[in-house]
Amino acid sequence: MRAAQLLQELAGASIASAVNDSQSVAPIIAPIALDLGYVRSLSGVDFTAERVVKLLEGLGCTVKSGTAPDSWLVTPPSHRSDLHIPEELIEEVARLHGYDAVPVQPLTAPLEPQPQEPVWQLGNLVMQ
């Protein structure tokens, strides 16, 4: 509105029509349940409850205490339509905390050699 007013005053522009809002109904934003243990296990960082709340509020989220200790109901701001599940909130917490501060841990899994198919075994014998 201010831009239109300035164009009218300074450049002699005329307003063709009123402003129309194509989305007159505000989107329904459901709160997301989140708990500190899950934040810690998924991020690998030993966050305090206060730090998580501070980071979420820094995003513009509304954070209310949940039913269990160190759990919350987090309502994202209306402009963050990409936040729907706890994992997305945890990603944002880790991003704001700093990805460089997230400890790097190598993945560990048992690795057993798979049996080779006969065609490959024959090829290996020929090459020897």
pLDDT tens readout for residues 69-127: 999 999 999 889 899 999 999 999 999 999 998 888 887 888 888 887 777 777 778 88
State how far the Cα of 56 lies from the Cα of 34, in Å rounded to an integer.
11
pTM score over 0.75: no
* Side chain identity, residue 47: F
Q: What is the pLDDT of residue 10?
A: 84
Between residues 7 and 87, the one the model is more confident about: 87
- H or E stretch covering 63: strand 62-65
Pairing of strands 32-35, 62-65: unpaired
Q: Which fold is adopted by the domain 27-99?
A: Phenylalanyl-tRNA Synthetase; Chain B, domain 1 (3.30.56)
User: What would the two tokens of residue 106 be?
Assistant: 């190598």
For the CA atoms of 8, 10, 11, 14, the dihedral, rounded to the nearest 10 degrees, stands at 10
CA-to-CA separations, 88 to 32, 74, 115, in angstroms, rounded: 10, 12, 40
Band the pLDDT of 21: cuts 50, 70, 90: low
Mean pLDDT of 4-8: 81
